[in-house]
Amino acid sequence: MTNRTTHLLLTISPLALIAATPAFAQNQPVTTAPVTAASEGQQPDESTIVVTGTRRNDRTLADSPVPIDVIGGDQLTSSGLGETNKILNNLVPSFNFPQPSIADGTDAVRPASLRGLSPDQVLVLVNGKRRHVSALLNINGTVGRGSAAVDLNNIPTLAIERIEVLRDGAASQYGSDAIAGVINVRLKRASSGGRAQASYGRYVTTLDGVANVTGLALTGGQPSLDPTDGRYLAVTTDGERKVRDGDLWTIGANLGVPLTSSGGFVNLTAEYRDRDATNRQGFDIRPNYARPTSTTFDPREITFNRINFRYGDAKTEDYGFFLNGGLPLDTAGAEIYAFASYNKRDSESAANYRQQSNGVTGAGGANRDYSTIAPNTTPSVANFTPLTPDGYLPLIQTDLKDYSATLGVRGEIAGWKVDGSTQYGKNKFDYTIADTINASLGTASPRVFDAGGIGYGQFVTNLDFSREYQAGFAKPLSVAVGAEFRREDFQIRPGQLESYIAGPLYRAPIPGSNLAACTTAGGVLSGTTCTFPGRAAAPRSQGFGGFPASARRDVSRNNVSAYVELDTDPLPGWTTTVAARFERYSDFGTSLNGKFATRFEISPGIALRGAISNGFRAPSLQQQYFTTVSTNFISGVAVDILTLGVNDPVAQRLGAKPLKPEKSTNLSVGATLNPMRGLTVTIDGYQIKLKDRIVLTENLGASSNAATDTLARALINDTSIGAARFFINGLDTTTRGIDVVGNYRFAAGPSRWTLTAAYNYNKSEIDRRIVDLGPLAAASNIVLFGRVEGIRFEKGQPRDKVVLSADGRMGAFGLTARTTRYGKVVSPNTATPISAPTSLDAYGPDDVFLSPKWITDLELRASPVKSVEVALGANNLFDVYPDRLAFGPRPASVGGVYPVTQAFLPYSNFSPFGFNGRFLYGRVSVDF
């Protein structure tokens, strides 16, 4: 938004207040009306009161000036998926939740996005109060790279009355993060009754395009290489691989309890979820063992288990507890309220498999015992001694603890409704790496490592006032003002020493040496550098290197803010909302934001609406201070990458600078139609311009720019590190799209139906790459945010999405049928474009184009007795998979070969619906 527009909004606010001053306040005391479990299960419709996007208490879904999706609790529990994010992905067209694998902690906390923006650009509220984000920073090459977002899967669906998804910028109303929109989770308030529920499901699937390998093709008892691609062994196959896995048990209960005879309630929810891992790996048909000679193979190749990876959902065990309560204080309607949660998730996922032959030729060997050769000895097959007999699969075990508590009082003082609350939330993530090795310690290496942990905490206290004035308008003028104080803290706990050190079997090259000095040191002189080929063991625990002692952090910041919001209908059928907000952060300064939204009913059942606003997102503490070393496989080669906080000396040598907030300008225009009873249609177009977007740099030292990489490695000055990266304000972007949602509710004889059709089109473009060169300016053609990340950013999420659903009830029977079309997605690979190797837009020979897919879900329900419901269902009924990745030789017109891993990791992490296949489940619910 321009300065002129902001000035206009700030001018409107005090003028409206002055005009309202002579009027008298409306006495509308807050009440705690009894709510039953049955009334909470009612399906939302256009008459539903919404509390997101406005601070009025009479705004309905039909007359909202901004688009809002309302998802009832029954819609959330009518699924076998067991995860709130997965369910929203099936229900909300502009919501995207890919499910990546082999992505470290992101396997346990997967990020979701709204309108194609970053996961941390949507604000999550619980009961209208800001929810704390996860401590985890997603630093891998997946959707949401570089973000720390709220983990919605920590909220059991049984605890939710409904979810309101505001699809519009709302930073002026709620503060930082509300650029793409707001997700407000409303907890159940029933004071009596409840529900107990148990479900079980598993995947019953056939992997599309993945051959079932029955054995190796032997010649004279010996394996042989595939004649079309010598990287693989020749095999025999029989059809496609069939899998039965991912058993999911979910047991939960929700209970409402009255507190006193005059009102008040406590609503309690407990849920236990146990999910086995899924594995969609193809057979790893690479030779696993060091070959005795060039013409023979190790005989163990014949019996080796070639399902040696884990590619799919992590194994998890979740415990979740939620409490929501309120207690009247007097007859005037004042009440004290509280809600709290505790969640614990134990998760186990896997890194990439380390083959037995890893380290045969040295250069960062992860399974070679370097103690058996001298420092100046060149590694070879003849002197190879493995640390483990068959190789190993590092397991990443995470212990997540999340808790929060909110206490507040609301009532009325001198005609003003007052709401004051205080809350604290904490998210902790601890890592244990099992079945792995720090090869630089050799045989002395532990096999299990405490790799350290991270934590994020948020304390918020706020005070809100609202009042209605008779100002001569068609509806009273609602005036809301308030202030908030927020304190955030972030910690990194280092792991045990062995998890991050470079042990004695790794020795860094010594530059500026001579023959005598190098000989004395036991090395081999190469030019003027003394090298140690017999001391090239991989340092740190494989799979996930522990947080080093130098990464220890305990940082915090605070924020104060104040807002004003005006909401009224100046004329019959004309709704307006004006808001402004001022914020001051202790670490980067101030922000001022405004919003104007309006809706005008042209004729009964037809209305136009629109909004304009500016907003911001503060750089997170994680983005400013997170530091770790992780192993990424780039073009099939393991590279240790150092992620740095912007204040780290190495990052500053590379040119890092303090981060600025992201700034947005949001514009939306739409229409609502109610042409006949029960039918509503909304159409909303939007544009979101973002400046100074915060992104991770390229892996400097292992990018596709040789000059930049050479200079970066010199500035990093640590030969055990392959590359480094840090956060920058690196992009200006524009996101444009359109949402169309239609709902039709009708009765057909004894049955009642709700039909829904929804469509989202979304396109993001990079307007400008911000290259603040710093010390790297000496390199030519420097790129800090390159081709791969750029294409992932613009095309790594579906361009469009369609949701068609039918939900019906007839007597004791119910049905939910839904089909969702996920549009085209591009997943770029690291191979540079052949004809334009320096292009930031051209496609490379290994880039993957995922075609649109339809995913169909079906659930049938029956109530044999009034309080019992039995359901059987299928998610992805027709067992649809994303396109299988190509492997082996590329087409002759291109030349070369596809990445070796695509033979056995057959599906892209960027599939918008995951790659687990068909899930069958049953559920029993008992209402009481």
Half-sphere exposure of 797 (CA within 13 A, CB side): 31
> How far, in Å, CA of 594 to CA of 464, rounded?
18
Separation between Cα atoms, residue 613 and residue 595, nearest integer Å: 4
Q: Are 848 and 890 in contact (CB under 8 A)?
A: no
pLDDT in tens, 575-609: 999 999 999 999 988 999 999 999 999 999 899 99
In 10 A of CB 42, how many CB atoms? 13
Between residues 729 and 2, which one has the greater pLDDT? 729
User: Over the chain, what is the mean pLDDT?
Assistant: 90
Given a contact cutoff of 8 angstroms between Cβ atoms, the answer to whether 856 and 805 are in contact is no
Residue 365: closest CA among 453, 437, 452: 437
Give the model's pLDDT for residue 545: 92
Mean pLDDT to the nearest integer, 549-577: 95
- Type of residue found at 440: S
What are the CA-CA distances from residue 374 to residues 55, 378, 506, 511, 532 (Å)? 73, 9, 12, 20, 9
2 — pLDDT class (breaks 50, 70, 90): very low
Mean pLDDT confidence for 608-621? 95
> Which residue, 800, 584, 764, 823, is CA-closest to 180?
764
β-sheet bridge partners, residue 740: 683, 759
CA distance 55 to 358: 61
What's the CA gap between 651 and 715, in Å, rounded?
A: 9
Strand 574-585 with 553-571, pairing: antiparallel
Residue 172 and residue 66: Cα distance in Å, rounded? 14
Residue 57 has pLDDT above 80, yes or no: no
Q: Of 151, 119, 95, 123, whose CA–CA distance to 623 is shortest?
A: 119
Q: Is the pLDDT of residue 550 over 80?
A: yes
Residue 910 has a pLDDT of 93
Q: Which two tokens stand for residue 875?
A: 């998610």
For residue 302, what are the β-bridge partners? none
* Inter-residue contact 856 to 819 (CB < 8 Å): yes
891 DSSP assignment: P
Angstrom distance (rounded) from CA 472 to CA 476: 8
H-run or E-run covering 95: strand 95-96
Q: Report the helix count and the strand count for the chain, using DSSP H and E.
A: 10, 39
Quote the CA–CA distance of 837 and 819 in Å, as a whole number: 40
Q: How far apart are CA 368 and CA 386, in angstroms?
A: 5
Give the side-chain half-sphere CA count within 13 A for 239: 5
Of the candidate ranges 63-72, 90-99, 270-279, 632-641, the one whose mean pLDDT is the lowest: 632-641
* Segment 286-295 mean pLDDT: 94
Instruction: Kindly state the tokens that stand for 896.
Output: 């070369």
Q: What is the mean pLDDT of residues 253-261?
A: 93
The closest alpha carbon to 861, from 780, 792, 778, 927, belongs to: 927
Residue pair 65/575 in contact by the 8 Å Cβ criterion: yes
Give the phi and the psi of residue 651 in degrees, each rounded to 5.
Answer: -60, -40
Within 8 A by CB and 6+ apart from 526, the residues are: none
Q: How confident is the model at residue 6 (pLDDT cuts 50, 70, 90)?
A: very low
Place of tokens 């009082």: 409
Closest to 487 (Cα-Cα) out of 518, 462, 507, 508: 462
* CA angle 268–271–272, rounded 5-degree value: 155
Nearest residue to 89 via CA among 62, 63, 69? 69
Strand 637-644 versus strand 723-748 pairing type: parallel
| Closest listed residue to residue 276, CA positions, set 319, 320, 316 | 316
**Close Cβ partners of 141 (under 8 Å, ≥ 6 residues apart):** 103, 632, 788, 789, 792, 909
Tens of pLDDT, residue by residue over 744-768, are 999 988 999 999 999 999 999 999 9
Burial class (CB in 10 A: 0-12, 13-18, 19+), 235: middle
How do the domains of the chain map onto residue ranges? Answer: 3-353+393-503+539-927
- Tell how strand 813-822 and strand 853-865 pair up: antiparallel
First to last CA, the chain: 52
CATH code matching the domain that covers 3-353+393-503+539-927, chosen among 3.40.50.1970, 2.40.170.20, 1.10.150.120, 1.10.3720.10: 2.40.170.20
Q: Cα–Cα distance between 551 and 495 in angstroms, integer?
A: 10
Torsion angle, alpha carbons of 177, 183, 189, 195, to 10: -130
Cβ of 554: how many Cβ atoms within 10 Å?
A: 11
How far apart are alpha carbons 431 and 429 in whole angstroms?
Answer: 7
Q: How far apart are CA 545 and CA 720, in angstroms?
A: 12
Residue 439, SS3? helix
How far apart (Å, rounded) are the C-alpha atoms in residues 718 and 539? 12
**How many residues appear in the chain?**
928
Q: Poorest-confidence range of 14-28, 339-353, 836-850?
A: 14-28
Percent of the chain with pLDDT over 90: 74
Yes or no: say if 801 and 759 are a contact pair by the CB < 8 Å rule: yes
CA of residue 267 relative to chain centroid, distance: 29
Q: Is the pTM of this model over 0.85?
A: yes
For 715, the token pair is 């500035």
Residue 330: per-residue pLDDT = 78
Q: What's the pLDDT band for 349 if we cut at 50, 70, 90? A: very high
User: Residue with structure tokens 């002197």?
Assistant: 383
pLDDT in tens, 77-135: 877 777 888 888 888 889 998 888 988 888 888 888 999 999 999 999 999 999 999 99
Residue 847: the pLDDT is: 96
- Closest Cα to residue 395, out of 452, 428, 352? 352
Q: Tens digit of pLDDT for each residue in 673-731?
A: 998 899 999 999 999 999 999 999 888 887 766 777 778 888 888 777 888 889 999 99
Residue 11: which H helix or E strand, with range?
helix 3-20
Cα–Cα distance, 815 to 435 (Å, whole number): 46
Per DSSP (E only), the strands in 261-394 are 263-275, 315-328, 335-350, 354-355, 391-392
